[in-house]
Amino acid sequence: MELGFVPSQAPWFDSLNRKYVAPSWDDVYDMMIELARQIKGSGYSPEVIVGVSRGGWPPARVMSDLLENPNLANMKVEFYTNIGATAKRPKITQPVTSEVAGKRVLVVDDVADSGHSLRVTVKHLGRKGAREIRVCTLYLKPKSIFKPNHYARTTSKWIIFPWERLEAIRLIKRNLKSGGNPRVVIRELKGSGLSASLIRRLAALDR
């Protein structure tokens, strides 16, 4: 695959938290604009955009808008079972929902973490006959075995995206054995980008 432009992470975006980073909706949208510019600048014009469930669905919808391409498809790959914990291997639980044979495809996901899920995704689309496949993600983890053609940021931290905040807080509460005390989670996520008031309101939903 042809590799895209590799941007550096802007200092203002860096998190004070050593383990977690929680970009805002506006942060994500800025990254999406950056990715759309990269893709357009490369001359690639996808015929189908495929969002990889679940994290790739929100950015895939935004990319559909930014590239003015309504041909949006889904597929589901399941791998992670907890923060930093995975199953033995990624499993496709929903094949791609659109015909991709002979077409240029853009795969969109939120992060290339281990890279295993994206590798499985690309192989699946290749078996379905896609003519050309490129991949874009918001983030790339340095440990990933798969490098997307386009990505906006790199980090080694666990990323809490806007569309999974409650899920992340629930997992952190369970892992820390906080007994439902939001102060423990607030302390764990200090400097990540999530405010204490938001954490309290989300934690109140998880009761």
pLDDT reading at 4 higher than 60: no
Do 142 and 166 lie in a common domain?
no
Q: Which tokens go with 193?
A: 């980008």
136: nearest Cα among 72, 65, 52, 74: 52
Residue 187 CB neighbour total at 10 angstroms? 13
What pLDDT, on a 0 to 100 scale, did the predictor assign at position 88? 62
Do 169 and 73 lie in a common domain?
no
What pLDDT, on a 0 to 100 scale, did the predictor assign at position 206? 78
Do 101 and 186 lie in a common domain?
no
pLDDT reading at 179 higher than 80: no
Give how far Cα 123 sits from Cα of 44, 152, 171, Å. 20, 23, 31
pLDDT reading at 181 higher than 80: yes
CATH of the domain at 150: 3.40.50.2020
CA angle 86, 172, 112 (to 5 degrees): 40
Residue 151 lies in a domain: yes
Do 139 and 173 lie in a common domain?
no
pLDDT tens, residue by residue, 104-129: 999 999 999 999 999 999 999 999 99
Adjacent-strand bridge partners of 77 = 92
Could you identify the residue written with the tokens 């860096």?
Answer: 14
pLDDT reading at 16 higher than 90: no
- 39-67 residues labelled b (16+ CB within 10 A) or e (exposed): beeeebebbbbbbbebbbbbbbebbbebb
Q: Mean pLDDT throughout 1-29?
A: 67
Q: Which tokens go with 126?
A: 């290749």
Do 146 and 180 lie in a common domain?
no
- 124-151 residues labelled b (16+ CB within 10 A) or e (exposed): bbeebebeebbbbbbbbbeebebbbbbb
What is the number of domains present in the chain?
A: 2
Residue 99 lies in a domain: yes
Q: Domain of residue 175: give its range.
A: 160-207
Do 136 and 179 lie in a common domain?
no
What pLDDT, on a 0 to 100 scale, did the predictor assign at position 108? 98
Do 49 and 129 lie in a common domain?
yes
pLDDT reading at 84 higher than 60: no
Residue 8 lies in a domain: no
Residue 2 lies in a domain: no
Do 35 and 101 lie in a common domain?
yes
Its pTM stands at: 0.87
Residue 90 lies in a domain: yes
DSSP letter string, 88-157: EEEEEEE--SS--BTSEEEEEEEEESSSHHHHHHHHHHHHTTBSEEEEEEEEE-TT-SS--SEEEEE-SS
What pLDDT, on a 0 to 100 scale, did the predictor assign at position 90? 86
Q: Mean pLDDT throughout 152-167?
A: 97
What pLDDT, on a 0 to 100 scale, did the predictor assign at position 6? 39
Do 145 and 201 lie in a common domain?
no
pLDDT reading at 82 higher than 80: no
Please state, in angstroms and rounded to a whole number, the distance separating the CA atoms of residues 177 and 171: 10
User: Is the peptide bond between 37 and the residue preceding it cis, with omega within 30 degrees of 0?
Assistant: no
Share of the chain above pLDDT 70, in %: 88
pLDDT tens, residue by residue, 27-57: 999 999 999 999 999 999 999 999 998 999 9
Domain boundary among 115, 141, 157: 157
Residue 6 lies in a domain: no
pLDDT tens, residue by residue, 90-106: 889 999 999 999 999 99
Do 48 and 144 lie in a common domain?
yes
What pLDDT, on a 0 to 100 scale, did the predictor assign at position 175? 87
Do 50 and 139 lie in a common domain?
yes
